Structure 1
């Protein structure tokens, strides 16, 4: 079995990112679950994914993908 599990990958990745900043893995996983269950966060993720899939900027000034695309040197 690979980690993170394919059927719960995003929640595990979020928990991994939070884990060094909190007291326990259990708390990190609880926070990740809350983030995953928040409908506004899910809608925002879907909006960003849709924009990027359509090769459009997502409008987030901190988006590394949009930043790189904006400043990329076009191929000759």
Structure 2
């Protein structure tokens, strides 16, 4: 079992991994990821989506693979 990404900073590390291939340096990827993770708006949206999914409802995000799959199968999304 690996300790990467670390549980206490997992979101920032995962976002930085996605950004890294598209920028000049790992340091820049972490800088951008940190801005995303610490954004109140982003945190609020993540919370809203998580709460909708936890309640078994569609989150309303047109890019949500979870809700898209539920729509195709005719079932309400579940966590």
Scaled to the shorter chain, the TM-score interval is over 0.9
Could you say which residue in structure 2 is the equivalent of 1:14? 15
Q: Distance in 2 between matches of 1:6 and 1:68?
A: 28
Runs of 4+ in 1 over 2 A off after TM superposition: none
Q: Distance in 2 between matches of 1:61 and 1:8?
A: 27
- In structure 2, list runs of 5 or more residues that go unmatched: none
Bigger RCO (CA 8 Å, 6+ sep): 2
Q: Aligned pair count?
A: 74
CA RMSD of aligned residues (A): 1.2
TM superposition shift of 1:73: 5.7
- In structure 1, list runs of 5 or more residues that go unmatched: none
1:5-58: CA deviations, max 9, x gaps?
011000000000000000000000000000011100100000000001111000
Q: Give the TM-score normalised by the residue count of structure 2.
A: 0.89
